[in-house]
Amino acid sequence: MVKRTFIFIFAFVFGVSFAQTKENQNFKKIDSIARTIKYKNDLPQLVNNLTQNCKTEKEKYRVIFIWIADNISYDYKTYNKHKKPIEVKCKGKDDCNEKFTKIDNEIIDRVLSKKIAVCDGYSKLFKRMCDIANLHCAIIEGYIKNSSNQIGNMGILDHAWNSIKIDNEYYNVDLTWASGYCTKNEKGELDDFVKKLDDYYWLTNNKDFFRNHFPKDKNWLNDSGISKDYYKNQPFIEAYQMSYLRFTKPEFGIVNAKKGEKIKFEFTYDELVDKIQVNTNIYKNPSIWKTVNGKRELDKKSIQKQKYIDYQKIKNNYSFEIMVDNEKLSYIDIVFDHNLVAKFKIIVSK
């Protein structure tokens, strides 16, 4: 079965605010420019062509962001190889700087020629283009969460993104996750990349961004007040749902409950949803799909066996309750229209 999953690298918190959405609409002209300018083997000239009509620093950042997202695809084949990072042996600061600069140049040249990258390439190219445009930009290494079993822990330390500075304020930019998403095959390997801009990862505020990202260097928390525990204890939300889905209850991803009591779920959701289900370690709805002669088809018998929950809806606010009737309950998956969107870990006390 093929399922949708957001791209992640060597290394999709909550809904995008109305203000941010409105602001991005104001970038329509800038975005159009970015999508029409071609790279002709001269990176400084490309940056100049992109930024020459920009009136503000924010517009310059934006036009570079859109150009990369539109032109560079995720290198899922390299990701599947799980190559180890390059080890560099050097003597002294100058020697190290020279060797690292050479490696960075080789990576950026490959990204521009092949038009593919993993997170390292995305973040390095964005920084290089910002440097050329005299814009402040840094590369941040850190942890990400891209699996439902990472509730309560740090996830994996193998990702890179960027921090930019506008009017003395720092913002997070993750071009890798903004540029599109990958699909997986039955073996769990990435098998294709679908280019689709996700503006959620453009100037993402700290509270949202640090739900599934956390910097290795805590200085990049930027006095946000976000703690490691805040990051660790978030519920798992599928990355492509991050800009639409906001849970208000339960507050954390690890829920302590007693047998016989109800767990209340409350959330806002900015997309359309018809049927809501929950799967647990005690009961799981059967898949509505089956494979026949190598082709994926709907399983009519399975559809008849589906169990749905009753929920209340007022505008984009939803709520429902789940009874804890088994002390062995250890997790609850939230499923919208047969697609997993979120997961909570449950600890039942007697």
| 127 located within any domain | yes
Q: What angle do CA 43, 37, 42 make, to 5 degrees?
A: 20
- 213, 253: one domain: no
Q: What is the pTM of this model?
A: 0.84
- 205, 250: one domain: no
- 104, 218: one domain: yes
Q: Which of 187, 204, 233 is the last residue of a domain?
A: 233
CATH code (residue 211): 3.10.620
- 90, 137: one domain: yes
pLDDT at residue 199, as a whole number: 93
Residue 67 has pLDDT above 90, yes or no: yes
Q: Which of 171, 202, 233 is the last residue of a domain?
A: 233
- 135, 177: one domain: yes
248-264 confidence digits (pLDDT tens): 999 899 999 999 999 99
- Facing residues of 194 across strands? 181
71-98 confidence digits (pLDDT tens): 999 988 988 887 777 777 788 777 787 8
286-332 confidence digits (pLDDT tens): 999 888 888 889 999 999 999 999 999 999 999 999 999 999 999 99
- 20, 99: one domain: yes
Region 136-150: mean pLDDT is 93
Residue 24 has pLDDT above 80, yes or no: no
- 207, 263: one domain: no
pLDDT at residue 9, as a whole number: 36
- 89, 178: one domain: yes
What CA–CA distance (Å, rounded) separates 268 from 251? 13
- 260, 338: one domain: yes
Total structural domains within the chain: 2
CATH code (residue 283): 2.60.40.10
| Three-class SS of the chain | CCEEEECCCCCCCCCCCHHHHHHHHCCHHHHHHHHHCCCCCCHHHHHHHHHCCCCCHHHHHHHHHHHHHHHCEECHHHHHHCCCCCCCCCCHHHHHHHHHHHHHHHHHHHHHHHCEECHHHHHHHHHHHHHHCCCCEEEEEEEECCCHHHCCCCCEEEEEEEEEEECCEEEEECHHHHCEEEEECCCCCEEEEEECCCHHHEEECHHHHCCCEEECCHHHHCCCCCCHHHHHCCCEECHHHCCCEEEEECCCCEEEEECCCEEEEEEEECCCCCCEEEEECCCCCCCCEEEECCEEEECHHHHHCCCCCCCEEECCEEEEEEECCCCCCCEEEEEECCEEEEEEEEEEEC
- 194, 252: one domain: no
- 126, 163: one domain: yes
Domain that holds residue 295: 246-349
| 325 located within any domain | yes
- 196, 276: one domain: no
Q: Which of 206, 233, 260 is the last residue of a domain?
A: 233
Burial grade of 312 (CB within 10 A; 0-12, 13-18, 19 or more): exposed
Amino acid at 123: S
